[in-house]
Structure 1
Amino acid sequence: MLDHITFGVADFERATAFYDKALAPLGVSRVMQFDEGAARVVGYGEGTKPYFWLQNAAATQGPLHVAFAAADRAAVDAFYAAALAAGGIDNGAPGVRAHYHPSYYGAFVLDPEGRNIEAVCHTP
């Protein structure tokens, strides 16, 4: 089981502003932040458990795809709208992706640094 993921972002302020808005419809928010001089890290999660971390460091290079679980299809739609409003770029509008399975409902956006971020619901 995956416990958490951390990646570096080139523009910490822009990235955190994007994720603050894009993840809110999924019930995911900042739950921890460390600012120690130039080292800045923020952890997103639910309750008190962070599992998605951004670090003010050299941007992680190469393709990166992160999928967040959504409670229902309306949350996927809300994520997509919020992410686009926060500066994300469409990478796949909300819809069924039957090639994964008949109830796979997902939406994809590119974050401000080009990472593929998804919200997905697996129930009909």
Structure 2
Amino acid sequence: MLDHVFLTVADTGRAVAFYARVLPVLGIDRRLDYDGSQGPPGHPDLKGFGADGRVFFWLRQGQPAP
């Protein structure tokens, strides 16, 4: 089970396009665009994917660190 997995990606648009194509194989689809300005100060914008009414796989824009 996955719960709140966050990936930092350099190109959000490209990452969303990739995961929107591959995650449905696992029964996961795009669910939510979260506006970070609605959260605590400094909260990033997030692109969320999930299944069964839960969003648990999140992408955020930034400098990826391996």
Q: Which residue in 2 is equivalent to 1:27?
A: 27
Q: Which residue in 2 is equivalent to 1:56?
A: 61
Give me the TM-score of the superposition, normalised by structure 1.
Answer: 0.42
Q: Per-residue deviation at 1:36? A: 4.7
Please identify which structure carries the higher helix content: 2
The count of aligned residue pairs is: 60
Which one of 47, 55, 62 corresponds to residue 52 of structure 2? Answer: 47
Give me the TM-score of the superposition, normalised by structure 2.
Answer: 0.73
Tell me how large the CA RMSD over aligned residues is.
2.0
Secondary structure at the aligned position of 1:30 is classed as: strand
**Given that residues 31 and 47 in structure 1 are in contact (C-alpha distance below 8 angstroms), is that contact kept between their aligned partners in structure 2?**
no
Larger RCO (alpha carbons 8 Å, 6+ apart): 2
**Given that residues 8 and 60 in structure 2 are in contact (C-alpha distance below 8 angstroms), is that contact kept between their aligned partners in structure 1?**
yes
Q: Per-residue deviation at 1:55? A: 0.5
Answer with 1 or 2: which has the greater Rg. Answer: 1
Runs of 5+ unmatched residues, structure 1: 63-124
**Given that residues 40 and 56 in structure 1 are in contact (C-alpha distance below 8 angstroms), is that contact kept between their aligned partners in structure 2?**
yes
Secondary structure at the aligned position of 2:3 is classed as: coil
Superposed CA deviations along residues 48-87 of structure 1, whole A, max 9, x for unmatched, are: 211111001222x11xxxxxxxxxxxxxxxxxxxxxxxxx
Q: Per-residue deviation at 1:40? A: 2.6
Percent identity at matched positions? 37
Write the letter of the residue equivalent to 1:50. Answer: V
Q: Per-residue deviation at 1:2? A: 5.5
Flag the 1:21–1:2 CA change in 2: closer, same or farther, 3 A: closer
Runs of 5+ unmatched residues, structure 2: 38-43
